[in-house]
């Protein structure tokens, strides 16, 4: 039996390392490129990889990811093709894959069919930012008995009570959103963000990872103090688009690797 997303993150932490989850947009540069990118990030030592499904109305996304999504859609990328591609490479990919998608493409695909296809493609986690906790029964019944974790987001404005509610339902890890707003950009984090992250960490048993606005190694290290790791999206998506691999590799401890990119 392969490890769950939560186990993989916990194992990383037990080794004294923070989890690092890069986000990529499926189909940006074409699906063959996405395939190679997944292999590359696995080789670099990503703890898991968050794979974004392009969508025309990405309400939580800032300009970098929105544009990447539009490029992917212009390439003709769709959910079915992405799942087929992931199934094709599943034998070579041990790094857990987390799909990040808005609800609309899933409903369009059919939720039950989607879960079946995602299970076949060995997907280990799911982030649906426009599906509030209260609506999770839309998909949760189909996820029972699979090892796909439905990851929940906690925001800066979530109350203690809300954090508790979310923590009870959450799986995999808690995604602590570090800004009020959309993905991307280089931010000056306020001190209270660190405090907020530590509070979340002290009130939940799942691993806590922070994401939104982390654009370099230094910020990644600072944000992960006292919690279990970070997620970086826009900085990775932008660097991949510019073929700037040094920027990507700065986030990893490891030596540079051979790549077909």
Least Å distance between CB 60 and ligand IGP? 4
Q: Of the two residues 61 and 147, which places its CB atom closer to ligand IGP in the complex?
A: 61
Is 165 annotated as catalytic?
A: no
Applying CB under 6 A, which of residues 214, 223, 240, 248 lies at the interface with ligand IGP? 214
**Catalytic: which of 28, 61, 75, 171?**
61
Interaction pattern, residues 114-143, with ligand IGP; x per rule: CB under 6 A: -------------x-x--------------
61 is catalytic: yes
Beta strands in the chain (DSSP E): 19-25, 49-52, 97-100, 123-127, 149-154, 174-177, 208-211, 229-232
Question: What residues contact residue 48 under an 8 Å CB cut-off, 6+ apart?
Answer: 5, 8, 9, 19, 21, 95, 96, 97, 98, 124, 125
Out of 48, 219, 233, 248, point to the residue binding ligand IGP (CB under 6 A): 233
Q: What are phi and psi of 16, to 5 degrees?
A: 80, 15
Q: Among residues 28, 61, 171, 228, which is the contact residue for ligand IGP, using CB under 6 A?
A: 61
Nearer residue to ligand IGP within complex by CB, 88 or 236 = 236
Q: Which of 50, 66, 147, 171 is catalytic?
A: 50
């Amino acid at each position: 039996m392969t490890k769950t997303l939560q186990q993989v993150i916990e194992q990383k932490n037990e080794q004294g390392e923070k989890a690092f989850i890069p986000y990529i947009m499926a189909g940006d540069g074409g699906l063959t490129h996405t395939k190679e990118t997944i292999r590359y990030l696995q080789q670099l030592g990503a703890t898991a990889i968050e794979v974004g499904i392009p969508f025309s109305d990405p309400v939580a996304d800032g300009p970098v990811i929105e544009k990447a999504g539009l490029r992917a859609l212009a390439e003709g990328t769709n959910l079915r093709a992405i799942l087929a591609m992931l199934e094709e490479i599943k034998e070579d990919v041990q790094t857990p894959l987390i799909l990040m998608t808005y609800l609309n493409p899933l409903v369009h695909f059919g939720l039950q069919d989607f879960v079946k296809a995602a299970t076949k493609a060995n997907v280990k986690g799911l982030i649906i930012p426009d599906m509030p906790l209260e609506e999770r029964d839309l998909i949760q019944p189909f996820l029972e008995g699979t090892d796909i974790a439905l990851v929940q987001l906690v925001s800066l404005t979530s109350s203690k009570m809300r954090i508790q509610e979310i923590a009870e339902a959450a799986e995999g890890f808690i995604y602590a959103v570090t800004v009020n707003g959309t993905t991307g950009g280089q931010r000056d984090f306020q001190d209270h963000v660190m405090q907020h992250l530590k509070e979340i960490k002290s009130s939940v048993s799942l691993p806590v990872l922070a994401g939104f606005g982390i654009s370099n190694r230094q910020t990644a290290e600072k944000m992960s103090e006292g919690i279990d790791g970070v997620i970086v999206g826009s900085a990775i998506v932008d660097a991949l688009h510019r073929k700037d691999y040094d920027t990507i590799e700065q986030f990893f401890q490891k030596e540079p690797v051979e790549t077909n990119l």
